[in-house]
Structure 1
Amino acid sequence: MSRIPIPLNETRRLALLQELRILDTPPDQAFDLVTRLASRVFGVPIALVTLIDQGRQWFKSRVGMDIQETPRDQAFCAYAILQADVMVVLDAHTDERFRGNPLVTGDPHIRFYAGAPLTSRDGLTLGTLCLIDSVPHEAFGPQEQAMLLTMAAMVTLRLESLRNIGYMDATMALPNRTRLLDDLEQLGALGTCVSGHLTAVAVDLCGAEYFNDTVKALGYRYADDYLLAARDRLVSLLPPGTTVYRISTTRLGFILGHSDDELGTLLSSIGRACAEPLWLGEIPHNACATMGALRLPDTFNGPDVLRALVSTCDAVRQDGGHWSFYDCSQHEGQRRAFQILSALSTTLSEALAPQGTNQLSLHYQPKVDLRTGRCVGVEALLRWQHPVLGTVSPAEFIALAEKTALIERITRWVMDEALRQAGKWQRQGLNLSVALNVSAVDLDRPGFADELCALLERHAVDPHRIELEFTESAISHRPERLRQHLLRIRGLGVKVSIDDFGTGYSNLTYLKTLSADTLKVDQSFVRNLLNDITDQAIVPALVRLAHEIRHIVVAEGIETREAYEALAAWGCDHGQGYWIARPMPAAALEHWLGNEPGRWPGLYQASRQA
């Protein structure tokens, strides 16, 4: 057996082979169709798509061949890639190059060989489409050679498509999400052959927020260089030859064939290494990588795998860990979220229609003067009773809606309904203020104040009877824009309250500059007030601070008489909570106002006299 020749463009040829990321990848139906067709058309038992790597020939597609690769020095195709046309060996026993080849003297006992080169558009031959038989052939003429070249051209087109039609990420020089989905689809077709043996892993190098902050501070070029450095560190920690994909801006993915214990050891090691500062341009980066892993089951599809991996990465980052296997309960949570958002969209459309059915309602929780017991107002709280989902908590659906445009529709419905009810009570002579909860998204909308003004006019409501409550998260969003909107709202005569004070972005500068009338002390400071000495120090301090800057103080979550009395003794102005009254429909509230005169001194008389 003679020495294997090496092409003059070997370095470039191997570089293209690596760029394609096709070695050691799952079967591809397009290639398999060609090899099956070639085997039938030419009547040979073996047909292969071979790729000539540095020290081996690897079979991307194979019919009639059990092994996946052979040493390059045994490869007939190592000679075929030197030719522009088909290389034909009618009988290997009579060819000096191959008569002693182990593939001739042993399995698969090659006698006949014909190989057509797979040559890229830039003249680099990566391998062949070849035919093999264990008996010699008398001829393989021009017509057959032309047909084999045509089939080889089909294979080459598929190779070029892997290179050109969106399979590579230009910035990272890695196969992209589309390529990963294709590879997962090919693995999925193998079914039980991969079940339990392969694990898909996604790595979030730094998180989207960190990347965006880097872009804003140092520009896209620097941020991309940072991702490349993080990529290189990750690749250096993976087993050699692992194909890494770019899934999204900061997320990479790969597939491993490790046991759970081996995988756990590897991912924990990667997590520790990636927690170390990454230096770039004299700047240390301390963003930690997070990883999600999913053991591939018997049946799966690529999009579901990616969704599971991404959600696991995000969950790990929220928990502050390094990595975790996918928890199917996350899928249930995501499905529940999808069901809620879908149902909520339909519910809002029906609620806002002129004659539509309404699953939404407002309940009103009384707010009393802690010194006199007089009911001074109510907070309007949204309730949703769905025919299939049942009672859906506002804590669940509002949080989801705030991530979508649905929150604007919810706020419009709540404002319209609450102001309609406020107008009715005003005409009945009840002197009650009505507080509404609005989100950061609402206060950021340019037309919000105009909508509020229009509703005040439509329902003929005294603006001083309406109070808007917003949480501290709205403060952190765009403080200056928020300040301007609040000035406009207060200019209408509507009162403004900072809700859940003390739990978010509390900042004395905000209190100084924002136009607000009321601070609502969060219930987390009130519920354990009698047993927590820290809360007993914080709450009176908050009351004094609010009074110093001329704010009314409302305490939420009053659930005992003792808490009520303590808050009243510290000078807290108003309070609400289950010990006073639970949220209730408007009719029940009117009944409560008229039938609880003994519980709160002056409540009945004050309400009737107002």
Structure 2
Amino acid sequence: MSNSEEARLSVLRQLNLLDTPPSESFDRITRLASLLFDLPIAAVSLTDRDRQWFKSRVGVDHREIPRFKACCGDVADNSSVLVINDLLASHYHDSHLAESGIRFYAGAPLVTHDGHTLGAMCVLGTEPRQVTDQERGILKDLAAMVMAQVDLQHAVGRVEPSTGLPNYLSFVEDLNDLARDLPDSQRYVLGTELVDLEQINALQRVMGPAYLDALSQTAARRIRKALGEQAKIYHVGPCQFAHLETGDRADILVRAVNLRKSLLEVTVNGSAPFMLRPVVGVAPVQLGRTQPDAVLRLAHTACRDARDNETGAGFYSRSSDNRYQRRFSLISDFQEALQSEDQLHLAYQPRVDMTSGRCVSAEALIRWQHPTVGNVSPAEFIPLVENTTMARDLTDWVMRNAIRQAAAWYHQGLQLRVSLNIAAANLEEGDFTERLLGYLGSEGLPLRAVELELTESGLISNGQAARRQLEELMARGVKIAIDDFGTGYSSLAYLQTIPAHVVKIDRSFITGLNQHQRSQTLVSAMIAMAHELGYSVVAEGVETEEAKQVLHSLGCDEIQGYLIARPFTSTEFTRWFMAPINTVTARPSSRQSL
């Protein structure tokens, strides 16, 4: 086969017209052709390697015929209008068309801007016929309309520029067309993700957008090789692909696993790609029952499960999807919770000084009573909210309400510091310090009456602007605490650079402290090093008298946990604090728990 023919076929494949569902935009042209020529048959015929495939057709049931002795094949070869007045009186007398009863043929070439002929716009009849010059011109105009439609599909965002593959919009259109042609038919959508989508922004920052394009281009060729030339592959998002499959469920999974294996061999510029972790998620779908955008969401959910479970490939799980749906639902509902007067509230858990046994601080903990779901754990909704623009609003809500309560206690004469949890992202807000100081000033509360808690990883990962804000707050007298210490970077060396006053040892180190000598050795080293560097130490999650005694012997400064009390409402906390017995030596009664 000549190089020009290979180039022509390559362009035809890249346009992704072959083996696609019927499209009204092309069908409209073939109906017009049949009407203008007063002929029963019209088609947009694309010339493949060994067949003529009809992208659109009127008056014929089959979708393709052999290329051998096909009139449209000769149009593609010669790139010129071909008219056969009577097939039986020509060398096409033994062709597939003639044998099926066709006597008349006229076709005009479908030519791309760079000169490749894709096939023909043709009209056919069952009786011999002549063609006028005017009709030749009309046929050429119809062919131009077909090519304009091809160009329009690309111009209106149907193709992903970096790979030349049909994109998300094309996927939606094709799935809708399939649903009209084959309603309720079973298909499998295989979604392929080259990298963890949660890391894609970081990857683009580090490697640049050109790297993602190169990775997608290389992967697209690998997917094409794995699936074959007839498969239609869609580039539906950054480093995300999709295609449709039919067959047995077990066979589909085998194909998904094999596709994933082939992607592990992808290279970019001769090297193994950075952060390449391909997964393939399979979502079964009945055509017409599920919207195309929902289909891709199901495939993405399957990809997420495959990644989380480290299986590489897997089927969509309804139970997993329900969990993801709950997360998105909570994010959507949280904005309303921020505006509501009765959904969010703060609970306060005491921190007790181990020397005096008195409560010296209270950590403000947000609680969410959802109107339909009920109580939502902070461990569930806070990480979700912190990855949205609502992180600022959440922290503002906590600061306003906690500072208002701290001011009330302060003006009552309670010697108490209130600790506020803030997100790492808040420190990137240029006006964070100003807002905090404004809330304190409006309530007449001194800066020493509050403490800010940030996680270890949050403190370390912040940039220079955040570091400057922390240092300014410390200079003004605001206490800074490292929360959940030991669970992030797990290196005491970082204590030399983190701007903070307090280290809070995570509860995971305290659980079973009295039973495990290695835990005692580790906690002892944490406390000693923190003290050497000038930090005070708080142990979280203290639930037993034995753990308290071990921490006391190790020199821990303060403790917090159920041994002292569960989190209180503000009213309950005030009553507990003012009671004659609220020291570390007293176990809380049942009235103390929420």
> Equivalents in 2 of 1:370, 1:467: separation in Å?
19
Q: Which residue of 2 aligns with 1:3?
A: none
The aligned amino acid for 2:11 is L
How far apart are 1:426 and its partner, in Å? 0.9
Q: Distance in 2 between matches of 1:19 and 1:395?
A: 48
Report if the CA contact (8 A) 1:379-1:436 is conserved: yes
Report which stretch shifted further, 140-149 or 590-599.
140-149
Structure 1 length-normalised TM: 0.87
Query: What's the CA shift string for 1:63-99, capped at 9, x where partnerless?
Result: 3333221211131212344677754434322x22221
Letter in 2 for 1:48: A
* Counterpart Cα distance in 1 of 2:253 and 2:393: 46
Contact 1:375-1:603 at 8 Å conserved across structures: no
Name which of structure 1's ranges 403-412 and 370-379 shifts more when overlaid on structure 2: 370-379
Cα gap change, 1:376/1:211 in structure 2, threshold over 3 Å: closer, same or farther?
Answer: closer
Return the alpha-carbon distance in structure 2 between the equivalents of residues 189 and 596 of structure 1.
76
Counterpart CA distance in 2 for 1:100 and 1:35 is 26
The runs of 5 or more residues in structure 1 that have no matched partner are: 1-5, 352-356, 605-610
Give the match's secondary structure for 1:73.
coil
* Alpha-carbon offset, residue 282 of structure 1: 5.8
Q: Which residue of 1 aligns with 2:157?
A: 166
User: Residue 318 of structure 2: which of 296, 314, 328 is its match?
Assistant: 328
**What pairs with 1:295-374 in structure 2 (closer than 5 Å)?**
295-298=284-287, 299-348=289-338, 350=339, 357-374=341-358
Query: Which structure 2 segments of 5+ residues have no match?
Result: 589-594
Distance, in Å, in 1 between the alignment partners of 2:80 and 2:496 is 82
Q: Deviations over 1:483-510 (max 9, x none)?
A: 3222111112111100011111233332
State whether residues 266 and 272 of structure 2, in contact with CA within 8 Å, keep that contact through their aligned partners in structure 1: no
| Equivalent position of 1:607 in the other structure | none
**C-alpha separation in 2, matches of 1:240 and 1:123:** 22
**TM-score, with length taken from structure 2:** 0.89
2:91 paired residue number: 97
Residue 376 to residue 271, structure 1, CA distance change in 2 (3 Å) = same
Q: CA deviation at 1:219?
A: 5.5
Q: Distance between the aligned counterparts of 1:42 and 1:482, measured in 2?
A: 74
1:535 to 497, 510, 519: 519
What residue number does 2:30 align with? 35
Cα distance change on mapping 1:73 and 1:463 into 2, 3 Å: same
- Cα 1:92–1:432 shift into 2, 3 Å: same
CA–CA separation in structure 1 for the residues paired with 2:39 and 2:331: 58
Question: How far 1:214 sits from its partner (Å)?
Answer: 6.3
Identity %: 35
User: Once the 2 structures are TM-superposed, how far is the Cα of residue 269 of structure 1 from its aligned partner?
Assistant: 2.4
| Residue identity opposite 1:502 in structure 2 | G
Does residue 152 of the first structure (1) align with residue 143 of the second (2)?
yes
Distance 2:46 2:101 in 1: 21
CA distance in 1, matches of 2:212, 2:233: 20
Structure 1, 429-438 or 558-567: larger mean CA deviation = 558-567
List aligned pairs for 1:406-445, cutoff 5 A. Answer: 406-445=390-429
> Is the contact between residue 593 and residue 603 of structure 1 (CA under 8 Å) also seen in structure 2?
no
Match of 1:589 in 2: 573
Q: Which amino acid aligns with 1:116?
A: A
CA distance in 1, matches of 2:266, 2:515: 43
Per the TM alignment, residue 480 of structure 1 is displaced from its structure 2 partner at its CA by 4.0
Which residue in 2 is equivalent to 1:261?
250
Q: Pick the aligned partner of 1:66 from 61, 68, 83.
A: 61
Q: Distance in 2 between matches of 1:203 and 1:334?
A: 19
Matches of 2:227 and 2:77, distance apart in 1: 34
Query: Are the aligned partners of 2:79 and 2:109 in contact in 1 as well (CA < 8 Å)?
Result: yes
Q: CA deviation at 1:177?
A: 2.9
Q: Which moved more, 1:512-521 or 1:73-82?
A: 73-82
Matches within 5 A, 1:79-118: 79-81=74-76, 87-93=82-88, 95-105=89-99, 108-118=100-110
State which drifts further: 181-190 or 450-459: 181-190
Partner AA of 1:268 in structure 2: V
* Shift in alpha-carbon separation, 1:282–1:338, aligned structure 2, 3 A: closer
1:461 is matched by which residue type in structure 2?
L
The 1-side partners of 2:477 and 2:202 are apart by 39
Q: 1:282 to 1:246 in 2, by over 3 A?
A: closer
Give the C-alpha shift of residue 242 in structure 1: 2.4
Equivalence for 2:233: 244
Q: Report the AA paired with residue 13 of structure 2.
A: Q
Give the counterpart of 2:112 among 95, 105, 120: 120
What residue number does 2:176 align with?
Answer: 185
Once the two structures are TM-superposed, the CA of residue 437 in structure 1 deviates from its matched residue by 0.2
Q: How far did 1:220 drift? A: 5.3
Which deviations, in whole Å up to 9, do the C-alpha atoms of 1:404-436 show, x marking residues without a partner? 111101111111111111111111111111000
SS of aligned partner of 1:583 = coil
Choose 432-441 or 560-569, whichever is displaced more. Answer: 560-569
Query: What CA distance in whole angstroms lies between the structure 2 residues aligned with 1:342 and 1:233?
Result: 39
> Which segment is superposed worse, 557-566 or 361-370?
557-566
Secondary structure at the aligned position of 1:280 is classed as coil
Q: Distance in 2 between matches of 1:73 and 1:262?
A: 34
Cα distance, 1:597 vs structure 2: 1.1
Q: Tell me what 1:354 maps to.
A: none
Determine the structure 2 residue equivalent to 1:275. Answer: 264
Instruction: Tell me which amino acid in the other structure corresponds to 2:109.
Output: P
Aligned to 1:165, what secondary structure does the other structure show?
A: helix
**What's the CA shift for 1:50?**
0.7
Find the residue that maps to 1:57 and give its secondary structure: strand
Whether the 8 Å CA contact 1:475–1:505 is kept in 2: the answer is no
Following superposition, the deviation at residue 463 of structure 1 comes to 1.5
Q: Does 1:16 align with 2:6?
A: no
Q: Distance in 2 between matches of 1:64 and 1:272?
A: 45
Return closer, same or farther for 1:533/1:39 CA change in 2, 3 Å cut-off.
Answer: farther
Residue equivalent to 2:439? 455
Instruction: Look up the SS of the partner of 2:286 in the other structure.
Output: coil
Distance, in Å, in 1 between the alignment partners of 2:358 and 2:175 is 66
